[in-house]
Amino acid sequence: MDYWSPSFSDDEFKKLVLRMNPPRVTVDNTSDKKTTLIKVDSANKRGSLLEVVQVLSDLNLIIKRAYISSDGEWFMDVFHVTDRYGKKLSEDNVADRIQQSLGQRGSRSFRSLERSVGVQSAAEHTTIELTGRDRPGLLSEIFAVLADHKCNVVASEVWTHNSRMASVVYITDEESRLAITDPERLANIRQLMLYVLKGDRDLWGANTAVSVGSTHTGRRLHQMMYADRDYDKDDTDCVSVDNRKPLVTVERCADKGYTVVTLRCPDRPKLLFDAVCTLTDMQFVVYHATIIAEGPDAYQEYYIRHMDGYPISSEAERQRVIHCLEAAIKRRTSTVQTHDPNAN
């Protein structure tokens, strides 16, 4: 086949380039005294940066510094990382693990939750997504409904922010320990969950969804709270873990045609993932970025454009980006609850 013939579409050609240039990962434990350098380079595609950051986050690596460039058809990321204890990586197969994860889109989405609580594979559980107004006793009512309907809660995570709640719950049938697939039973559970979420105050804002399969929990929770517009509500509690409000600025870099987003706040695990996830889901492309988090505070700088190649052009959108990034930081530092069935 002539690759440049009209029958060979741009999308097919991009897929061919990706197959011919799979991600390459190298691990350098000698160049820096305190951190391990992880270098990732590959043909560029939408979401490449988020995929890499997601894998590092799922491996519980702490990113001390990062330099990101994806202008053009190629991307190259350099991450200075440690393990959760601040030590260099000692695993010889970390490069293989990262490369394998990047090469298996979709199969890694439940990986971090599987490691933490030992859940079954994606085909053996049902996913329930819940959003609504937070209130005392809500979780108890949700789990009571599941118990009454003979559901076993394999794992769950709950985020609250600005009086809103989002939760992803993974369940199986209590007796078979397999995914619940009966449409009538699932519809009944979903309807009862909706009643619980609405209560007497959230008649229009509550929402539920049920599916058989998996999702990346952290990214899905961000998407759910973003769709619920938690960033657009009273944000008086948008402060960091040490009571300092995140400092987010959005400015135009006129000579280069970018919008420059900077973020300063106390550092914490998964902060980079939360920021990149938010920008990606807001349909922005990160062309260049610098991340520094070697002390108690983190500094992140992103050069972004819309997917159509244009920078942010309105004050309203500039403010929305600021509010959304502030909310993304606060969601994980607000009340976060997890359920581990193996805990004592």
Which pLDDT tens digit goes with each residue over 265-301? 999 999 999 999 999 999 999 999 999 999 999 999 9
Do 159 and 181 lie in one domain? The reply is yes
Q: Based on the structure, what is the number of domains in the chain?
A: 3
Is 68 inside any structural domain?
yes
Q: Taking the C-alpha atoms of 74, 77, 78 and 84 in order, what is their torsion angle to the nearest 10 degrees?
A: -150
CATH number at residue 149: 3.30.70.260
Q: Is the pLDDT of residue 314 over 90?
A: yes
Tokens standing for 302? Answer: 């992103």
- Taking the C-alpha atoms of residue 130 and residue 193, their distance in angstroms, rounded to an integer, is 8
> What's the chain's average pLDDT?
82
Mean per-residue pLDDT for 82-90?
90
Q: Does residue 242 form part of some domain?
A: no
Is residue 62 over pLDDT 80?
Answer: yes
For residues 33-39, average pLDDT: 93
Residue 133 has pLDDT above 50, yes or no: yes
Q: Is the pLDDT score of 120 beyond 60?
A: no
Question: Which residue range(s) make up the domain with 275?
Answer: 247-333
Residue 340 lies in a domain: no
Alpha carbon of 59 to those of 111, 169, 238, 338: distances in Å? Answer: 9, 21, 28, 18
pTM of the model: 0.82
pLDDT tens track for 162-171: 989 999 999 9
Final residue before a domain boundary, out of 202, 234, 266: 234
Inter-CA distances, 206 with 23, 95, 169, 190, 196, Å: 41, 42, 16, 12, 9
**Per residue in 172-194, pLDDT tens?**
999 999 999 899 999 999 999 99
Q: How confident is the model at residue 233 (pLDDT cuts 50, 70, 90)?
A: low
pLDDT at 6 over 90: no
Phi, psi angle pair for 172, to nearest 5°: -135, 170
- DSSP 8-class letter at 40: E
Q: Among 108, 141, 159, identify where a domain stops.
A: 108
pLDDT at 343: 47
Q: Are residues 121 and 197 in the same domain?
A: yes
